[in-house]
């Protein structure tokens, strides 16, 4: 996407400085002494509000924010103001489960999202289903990030580093700082990368908008050449199927990202989690608006791009800016790389924890000690990155479409999570049947060529079926008093006022 840029050797120097900085931060963040899996994957659950906010932000905004989101603004025009609630609603959706899940994760030492499901429903099968669904959903996402990395490196080095060597080089750098620093390495580099990507997005927006003649000129020009981009959705059906459905699917699906759930586990205190959530509610108003403004400016300066080609409009705009804003373009490309690397490293660490805890520790080596599991986590980091590099091929769908498929599968984990937190009668069989049925509905609709049908996206149909199966199968089962008593004691009692003393014990 950035192959058209012609940068000098200084750009390679800046790239080298940026990568060196991430490695140094990764090494500084490493813990001395022996690491338990809790230390390696969650930083000992001691992450404070500031770092937690930056790692949430850097993880949420990937290369997709620069390419996929600006492409959406380019294709859809002003209605892409919905980028703001689309991102902001993730935190709102997490309010439905974060307060209880945080408390349970402290009391019951959860490391991965599947830990909760396995614990609440007492099922190893469910753990494996959740783990496999998460891995299947997140792996293509990593492949997209790897491909975007290759393009960014080619652009930054003007082709001095070929595509594949760029992907391998960045994978090696990430492998080093994740393996050495674990959680702390990832979140500290996230903090650095989060600042970088925010400044890059703001800088790029200012320059691109200036090139397009300012917002007023952009709107007036679009009024003449593409008035449809200033028009609200044509009818209620398209407004619902295209936008309302997207907002709901995104809010739930993004909220279920394994790395997002693990950031809830890792907070030092409820106060830290609350403050990071509050800051996260503000960020979309800046960065979401930036993607809209860049997309609209692109529609004025480069009209006529279609389909996945429009995801490249950001790169075309950078090429336009090269003559007068050389250093800013170099900086923005580093910001793009920061966005990609921060998201990728968080996903890789998260997937590594899932392989280690939910697969290796559960199926392969149930009696493995902490040291072996921490070592296994490091090995899995390298294996995952190797597989991602080998599997990275050019996508056939747009970046945004691949993101949608991923979140539509992940949102199938939401009903059993919520029902398990708020409804005592939910049974193991019901949630297994619900998840499998919901995922099957999504898969079949996508394979059959119906990613959207009538009013909603496939993910919402799967979600509705999933929820209905969970409720109906649970109601059909005769309640088991022993199981109900365990669920009451371990998963509901902590949230009653009379158990205040018990709840305070989670401080330790």
Task: Choose which of 92, 124, 125, 210 interacts with another protein (CB under 8 A).
Answer: 92
Name which of 346, 284, 292 is nearest 91 in CA terms: 284
In whole angstroms, how close is the CB of 228 to another protein at the nearest point?
A: 9
Subset of 63-82 contacting another protein (CB under 8 A): 78-79, 81-82
In whole angstroms, how close is the CB of 51 to another protein at the nearest point?
A: 17
Q: What 3-state DSSP class applies to 37?
A: helix
Task: Choose which of 7, 42, 84, 341 interacts with another protein (CB under 8 A).
Answer: 84
- Site map for another protein, 228-257, x if CB under 8 A? --xxxxxxx--xx--xx--xx---------
Task: Give the C-alpha separation, 354 to 262, whole Å.
Answer: 11
- Only segment of 23-31, 100-108, 258-266, 321-329 that touches another protein (CB under 8 A): 100-108
> DSSP string of 145-210?
HHHHHHHHHHHHTTTSS-HHHHHHHHHHHHHHHHHHHHHHHHHHHHHHHHHHHHHHHHHHHHHHHH
In whole angstroms, how close is the CB of 235 to another protein at the nearest point?
A: 6
In whole angstroms, how close is the CB of 232 to another protein at the nearest point?
A: 4
Name which of 1, 378, 43, 308 is nearest 188 in CA terms: 43
Full 3-state SS string of 357-380: HHHHHHHHCCCCCHHHHHHHHHHH
If binding is defined by CB under 8 A, does position 507 make contact with another protein?
Answer: yes
Q: Are 153 and 169 in contact, with CB atoms under 8 Å apart?
A: yes
Phi, psi for 267 (deg, rounded to 5):
-60, 140
Q: What 3-state DSSP class applies to 133?
A: helix
- Only segment of 227-235, 326-334, 435-443, 482-490 that touches another protein (CB under 8 A): 227-235
Would you state the structure tokens that stand for residue 170, as one six-digit string? 């960045």
In whole angstroms, how close is the CB of 127 to another protein at the nearest point?
A: 26
Task: Choose which of 85, 213, 443, 451 interacts with another protein (CB under 8 A).
Answer: 85
Subset of 314-333 contacting another protein (CB under 8 A): none
Q: Are 284 and 291 in contact, with CB atoms under 8 Å apart?
A: no
CA 463 to each of CA 135, 136, 311: distance values in angstroms, whole numbers, following the listed order: 19, 17, 29
If binding is defined by CB under 8 A, does position 454 make contact with another protein?
Answer: no
Task: Give the C-alpha separation, 191 to 475, whole Å.
Answer: 46
In whole angstroms, how close is the CB of 461 to another protein at the nearest point?
A: 19
Q: Which residue's CB is nearer to another protein, number 23 or number 421?
A: 421
In whole angstroms, how close is the CB of 226 to another protein at the nearest point?
A: 11
If binding is defined by CB under 8 A, does position 225 make contact with another protein?
Answer: no
Task: Give the C-alpha separation, 259 to 264, whole Å.
Answer: 9
Residue written as token pair 């902490």: 370
Q: Which residue's CB is nearer to another protein, number 107 or number 302?
A: 107
Task: Tell me the site size for another protein, rule CB under 8 A.
Answer: 53
CA 210 to each of CA 302, 331, 335: distance values in angstroms, whole numbers, following the listed order: 15, 18, 20
Which residues is 22 bridged to in the sheet?
A: none
If binding is defined by CB under 8 A, does position 224 make contact with another protein?
Answer: no
- Site map for another protein, 259-298, x if CB under 8 A? ----------xxx--x--xx--xx-xx-------------
In whole angstroms, how close is the CB of 471 to another protein at the nearest point?
A: 17
Q: Name residues whose C-beta falls within 8 Å of residue 237's C-beta, 6 or more positions apart in sequence.
A: 454, 455
In whole angstroms, how close is the CB of 251 to another protein at the nearest point?
A: 9
If binding is defined by CB under 8 A, does position 455 make contact with another protein?
Answer: no
Range list of β-strands (E), 406-503? 452-453, 456-457
- Residue 369: how many other CB atoms lie within 10 Å: 11
If binding is defined by CB under 8 A, does position 215 make contact with another protein?
Answer: yes
Subset of 102-141 contacting another protein (CB under 8 A): 103, 106
If binding is defined by CB under 8 A, does position 91 make contact with another protein?
Answer: yes
Contact positions toward another protein, by CB under 8 A?
A: 78-79, 81-82, 84-85, 88-89, 91-92, 95-96, 99-100, 103, 106, 215-216, 219-220, 223, 227, 230-236, 239-240, 243-244, 247-248, 269-271, 274, 277-278, 281-282, 284-285, 495-497, 500, 503-504, 506-507
């Amino acid at each position: 996407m950035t192959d058209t840029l012609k940068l000098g050797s200084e750009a390679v120097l800046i790239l080298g400085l940026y990568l060196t900085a991430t490695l140094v931060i990764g090494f500084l963040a490493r813990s001395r002494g022996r690491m338990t899996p809790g230390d390696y994957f969650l930083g000992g659950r001691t992450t404070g509000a500031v770092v937690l906010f930056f790692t949430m932000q850097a993880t949420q905004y990937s290369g997709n924010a620069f390419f996929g989101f600006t492409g959406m603004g380019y294709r859809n025009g002003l209605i892409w103001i919905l980028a703001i609630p689309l991102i902001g609603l993730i935190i709102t959706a997490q309010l439905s489960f974060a307060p209880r899940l945080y408390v349970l994760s402290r009391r019951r030492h959860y490391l991965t999202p599947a830990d909760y499901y396995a614990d609440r429903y007492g099922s190893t099968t469910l753990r494996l289903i959740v783990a496999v669904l998460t891995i299947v959903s997140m792996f293509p996402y990593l492949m997209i990030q790897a491909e975007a990395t290759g393009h960014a490196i080619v652009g930054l080095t003007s082709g001095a580093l070929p595509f594949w060597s760029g992907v391998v080089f960045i994978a090696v750098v990430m492998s080093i700082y994740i393996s050495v620093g674990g959680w702390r390495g990832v979140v500290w580099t996230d903090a650095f990368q989060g600042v970088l990507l925010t400044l890059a997005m703001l800088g790029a927006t200012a320059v691109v908008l200036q090139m397009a003649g300012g917002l007023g000129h952009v709107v007036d020009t679009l009024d003449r050449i593409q008035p449809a981009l200033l028009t609200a959705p044509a009818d209620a059906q398209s407004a619902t199927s295209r936008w309302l459905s997207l907002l709901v699917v995104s809010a739930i699906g993004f909220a279920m990202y394994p790395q997002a759930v693990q950031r809830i586990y890792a907070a030092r205190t409820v106060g830290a989690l609350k403050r990071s959530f509050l800051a996260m509610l503000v960020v979309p108003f800046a960065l979401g608006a930036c993607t809209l403004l860049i997309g609209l400016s692109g529609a004025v300066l480069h009209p006529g791009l279609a389909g996945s080609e429009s995801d490249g409009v950001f790169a075309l705009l950078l090429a336009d800016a090269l003559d007068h804003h050389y250093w800013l373009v170099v900086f923005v490309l580093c910001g793009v790389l920061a966005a990609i690397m921060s998201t990728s490293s968080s996903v890789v660490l998260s997937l590594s924890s899932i392989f280690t805890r939910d697969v290796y520790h559960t199926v392969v080596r149930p009696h493995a000690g902490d040291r072996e599991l921490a070592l296994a986590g490091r090995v899995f980091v390298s294996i995952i990155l190797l597989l991602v590099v080998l599997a990275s091929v050019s996508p056939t769908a747009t970046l945004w479409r691949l993101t949608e498929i991923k979140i539509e599968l992940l949102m199938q984990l939401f009903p059993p999570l919520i029902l398990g937190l708020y409804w005592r009668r939910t049974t193991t069989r019901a949630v297994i049947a619900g998840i499998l049925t919901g995922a099957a509905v999504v898969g079949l609709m996508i394979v059959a060529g119906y990613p959207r049908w009538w009013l909603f996206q496939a993910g919402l149909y799967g979600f509705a079926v999933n929820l209905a199966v969970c409720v109906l199968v649970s109601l059909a089962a005769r309640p088991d008093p022993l199981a109900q008593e365990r669920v009451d004691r371990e998963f509901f009692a902590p949230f009653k006022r009379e158990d205040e003393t018990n709840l305070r014990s989670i401080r330790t």
